[in-house]
Each structure stands twice: as structure tokens, then as C-alpha cells.
């Protein structure tokens, strides 16, 4: 978070030309080549409820989290940091082709959050009994190609990414179809995605090595896995600058993930509601 906050402040200091952009998975994404710098940003906060798929963690977690949206382009390069969409995150990219509603990009992004025996983040200080003794799983950073096709109110995209951080050295393939439906002053967004993960990815995050095994946590060596996600968002402009937003994200895991001794269920849900200030 410190690195992301620093990057955020640097970008705000350097840039001064307004533009528009959004999460790369959605049809109104305007992260296209520009002449010089172009940027758009907003900030807000939201309240979320989610259930954890890690064994031993509370079934439902809740709390407040920031909602930061920053999109920056410089010629064919772009940076997209989007927390307004539940599937959002940090993406660095370079537009290779952008013609006839088709796009081919070189992208880099984080796919999987890290966790250890304190849970899904490394900020906890209390060891969870069911996870005690597991090794830390680090965040990854994956680079690859993304092919997309935009239509009037929808978009379909395909990605092939490979870990370059040395975390798991595996590959990830993502496909995502999204649609935006405006109704009066509302904007409804829905999307469905299918992701496949290599054996190296699955084994690193969800496998159990001999050194981690216990009588209640046997050695586990999974194979290639996949997940299915469904996402829905709704936004409503309260006035010129303030926007009300709400969203829901559901993820279902294949058996090679949910049969892991450290996974408690085959699904995860997250919902949020909040406001964002658009400059």
C-alpha cells in the first residue's frame, strides 16, 4: 500500500491534462494512445462485506476501504489503478494495436493476493490455528498480452499472463465479457469471466508441501485450476462531483483449489456500497 500511495502522489504531481478512463475490463474503457500526458482520477470510500475462503478465518469480514481511481496515459503507455470496480487493481500497459474497435496490449498486473498464517494480508499479528505452520505466499506480478474487442455497450477480452516476479513462475489466462446498461441516471455494469491457472500457480498458493503438513493438513499437490466470476455494479450521480456506487462480486473455484486443506469453501462473495468524488 505504501508503494501504491507513493505512485499515486507522484502521478498527481506530474500530470495536468484531463481525460477519461475506466477499468480495462469494461466497454467504456478509453485507455487509448494519447499525445502527451492525459489523466483522470477520483477518490472516495466504501463499506464492504466479504466471506473468506481460507480455513480458520471468519466467515464474514467487513469494514471500510478507500475507493481510488487513477488513469494515466502517455502516448501508448498507460497506468490504471481502479478500486471502484471489485475486479479492479493496478495495471500497467502499452497499447500495441488500437484499430477498428480491436485492441492488443502488453499489460502487467497483480493476479493473486498473498497470505500467511495470519490470513489474507500480512498486516495481522494473530496466527490462525488452522493455518499455523504454513509458509507465506507472496503477491505476484504478471506480464503478458491482452486482446480485446469493443462493441457499442459491451466488450470481450482475452489475456495470457506469466509471472515475472519469481513468486510462482506460472501462467494465468483470463477471459471476460462485460456489458454496460444506462437507465435514466443509473449506469449498470455486469460481467462474467473465466480464468485458468497453471500447475505452478495453483501449487504455490494452494498446495501443501511436506514441511507444512500435519495430521489434519496432509500433503496436497494440485493440478491446473480455474475460477469463474460474476460481477455487477451500479452507479448513480448524486450531483456534479459525487457518485453513489454499489457492487457485488462472486467467485467460484475449481476442485483443485477448493479441495486444498487450507481452503474452507468453493466460493467467495464480496459486496460493497460507497461514494466517490470525481474531479
Whether residue 17 has pLDDT greater than 50: no
Write the pLDDT tens digit of every residue in 60-113. Answer: 888 898 888 888 888 889 888 887 778 778 899 999 998 888 999 999 999 999
Instruction: Give the Å distances, CA to CA, from 209 to 32, 104, 205, 232, 260.
Output: 44, 39, 11, 37, 12
Instruction: Give the Å distances, CA to CA, from 6 to 11, 12, 31, 219.
Output: 9, 10, 22, 40
Instruction: Give the Å distances, CA to CA, from 256 to 74, 210, 222, 249, 259.
Output: 41, 18, 5, 21, 6
So what's the pLDDT on residue 19? 28
So what's the pLDDT on residue 42? 85
Rounding to the nearest 10 degrees, give the CA dihedral for residues 252, 51, 117, 141.
50
Any residues with CB less than 8 A from the CB of 88 and at least 6 apart, and which? 23, 69, 81, 82
268: cell is: 467467495
Mean pLDDT of the chain: 85
So what's the pLDDT on residue 8? 37
CATH number for domain 2-278, candidates 2.30.30, 1.20.120, 2.40.50, 2.40.230: 2.40.230
Whether residue 14 has pLDDT greater than 60: no
* 235 within 8 A of 245, measured Cβ to Cβ: yes
Supply the DSSP string of 238-264, one letter for each residue. Answer: SSSSEEEEEEEEEEEE-HHHHTSTTB-
* 15 within 8 A of 39, measured Cβ to Cβ: yes
Helix (H, G, I), strand (E, B) or coil at 25: coil
Q: What percent of the chain has pLDDT over 70?
A: 86
Confidence of residue 33 (pLDDT cuts 50, 70, 90): low
Of residues 80 and 8, the one with the higher pLDDT is: 80
- 201: which DSSP letter? H
Distance CA 89, CA 143 (A): 14
Write the pLDDT tens digit of every residue in 173-230. Answer: 999 999 989 999 999 999 999 999 999 999 999 999 999 999 999 999 999 999 999 9
- 1: which DSSP letter? -
Residue ranges per domain, the chain? 2-278
* 70 within 8 A of 91, measured Cβ to Cβ: no
Amino acid at each position: 500500500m505504501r508503494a501504491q500511495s507513493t505512485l499515486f502522489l507522484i502521478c498527481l504531481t506530474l500530470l495536468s491534462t484531463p481525460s477519461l478512463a475506466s477499468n480495462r475490463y469494461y466497454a467504456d474503457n478509453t485507455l487509448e494512445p494519447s499525445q502527451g500526458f492525459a489523466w483522470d482520477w477520483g477518490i472516495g470510500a466504501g463499506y464492504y462485506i466479504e466471506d473468506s475462503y481460507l480455513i480458520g478465518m471468519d466467515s464474514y469480514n467487513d469494514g471500510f476501504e478507500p475507493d481510488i481511481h487513477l488513469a494515466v496515459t502517455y502516448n501508448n503507455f498507460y497506468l490504471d489503478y481502479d478500486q471502484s470496480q471489485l475486479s479492479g487493481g493496478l495495471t500497467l500497459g502499452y497499447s500495441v494495436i488500437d484499430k477498428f474497435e480491436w485492441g492488443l496490449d502488453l499489460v502487467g498486473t497483480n493476479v493473486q493476493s498473498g497470505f500467511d498464517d495470519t490470513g489474507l494480508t500480512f498486516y495481522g499479528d494473530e496466527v490462525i490455528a488452522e493455518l499455523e505452520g504454513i509458509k507465506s505466499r507472496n503477491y505476484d506480478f504478471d506480464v503478458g498480452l491482452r486482446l480485446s474487442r469493443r462493441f457499442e455497450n459491451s466488450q470481450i477480452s482475452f489475456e495470457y499472463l506469466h509471472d515475472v516476479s519469481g513468486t510462482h513462475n506460472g501462467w494465468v489466462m483470463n477471459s471476460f465479457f462485460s456489458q454496460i446498461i444506462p437507465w435514466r441516471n443509473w449506469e449498470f455494469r455486469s460481467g462474467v469471466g473465466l480464468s485458468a491457472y497453471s500447475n505452478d500457480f495453483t501449487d504455490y498458493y494452494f498446495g501443501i508441501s511436506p514441511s507444512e503438513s500435519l495430521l489434519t493438513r496432509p500433503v496436497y499437490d494440485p493440478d491446473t485450476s480455474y475460477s469463474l466470476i460474476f460481477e455487477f455494479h451500479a452507479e448513480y450521480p448524486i450531483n456534479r462531483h459525487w457518485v453513489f456506487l454499489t457492487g457485488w462480486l462472486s467467485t467460484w473455484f475449481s476442485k483443485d483449489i477448493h479441495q486444498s486443506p487450507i481452503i474452507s469453501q468453493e466460493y467467495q462473495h464480496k459486496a460493497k456500497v460507497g461514494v466517490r468524488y470525481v474531479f
